[in-house]
Amino acid sequence: MTIVGGKFSDRLRYTFHVDSGPDVGDTRATLGIACVFDASQSIDCRAGDDRVTGDASGEAGLASRHGRLRVFAGPRDDPFFNNVRGTRAALNVAAAALPAASRDAAGCPRFDAATSARILDEWRHTEGHAATSLLAGWKTGALVVAIDLSRVNRGGPRLGVWATTARRDNGAVIDRMGRALTGNALIETFGTEDVANRRKEDYNRAAPADWPAFTRDLAINLAIYDGFDGDCGNQWLAVQNADATRYDALARLLADDRLWVNSASAICTQYLAVEFDHAGALNGDCGGRTPTMDAVDDFRSLLANGTPRGVEDGVDRDDGNASTTGFPFLAAP
């Protein structure tokens, strides 16, 4: 979990939620790994009867008495790489073309070939030049935990992982993250700024039981993304009929804002691999999102053309050397 800032608040609780079950969306048990800090940045993390307390800023972090939980908390290189300016330019091209574009019955805009080419070209560049990551060199406060698998898979091998920061005094959620980009990219993408901000905050603070209420919000924006490559109906999980239900399956999947991991596999190479598995593309990958995965390109390509390739933002790796094996995984700042 990374935050914008060098220190963790002594007024917040930072929690990893790990739900487990036999399949995506079907979970039978949950474990919270909850961490709080005091003003001196001393940490207190608990996962059931495992507990870590003290200064966790050293490279090795701190381990619980039985060694089943290890925690690091301190500044690291932000592993999220993204051509933000190129993305903004691409979305601006789409927004300008939307009023004149006809739409099919599912709401997908029929951009002409020149518009589609320009959208994809803007995505690959930064202000007309080679793409750069806006977050290159960005430092972040990082909370990293490693936990024995037996502590989190009691309900089954599929793990739904999400995280929250919430106020310690009343439990109010300040921020939430499961998969990257769902809230930012698919809630009121082309709405007015005020409306978009309000609706994104509504989703951000919603309890899991209320996530399905945002399915329609997602479907509307999925329809627009589907048109970016000039071909409506080829989005991942899009049903092959041009009516208002075309994007419902993917919208329902994404509204459940948990990042899915197949804990029975130790091969982790593809973002959203478990969701693919759930849809029948048996791949045996653990999925999740390692800090070296190009999650931005994978996600947007799936939304535009139904494959993990084809919509690139020109930035395919972070400037830091994150690791998938060595704790605390994220590169030094």
What confidence tens digit (pLDDT) does each residue in 40-67 have? 999 999 999 999 999 999 999 999 999 9
Give the residue ranges of DSSP H helices in the chain: 84-97, 113-123, 182-186, 193-205, 215-226, 248-255, 273-278, 295-305
The residue to which tokens 């399949």 are assigned: 23
Q: What is the pTM of this model?
A: 0.93
Mean pLDDT, to the nearest integer, of 30-35? Answer: 98
- Distance between first and last Cα of the chain: 15
6 confidence band (pLDDT: 50, 70, 90): confident
Q: What pLDDT is stored for residue 281 in this prediction?
A: 63
Write out the DSSP string of 172-192: -EEEEESSSSHHHHHSSTTS-
73 confidence band (pLDDT: 50, 70, 90): very high
Dist CA 215 CA 203 (whole Å): 11
Q: What pLDDT is stored for residue 87 in this prediction?
A: 95
Mean pLDDT, to the nearest integer, of 102-128? Answer: 96
Write out the DSSP string of 54-106: E---STT-EE-TTSSEEEEEEEEE------HHHHHHHHHHHHHHGGG--B-TT
Phi, psi for residue 73 in degrees, rounded to 5: -145, 115
Cα separation values, 142 from 56, 73, 185, Å:
11, 6, 23
What confidence tens digit (pLDDT) does each residue in 258-287 have? 999 999 999 999 999 998 877 766 678 999
244 confidence band (pLDDT: 50, 70, 90): confident
Q: What pLDDT is stored for residue 18 in this prediction?
A: 98
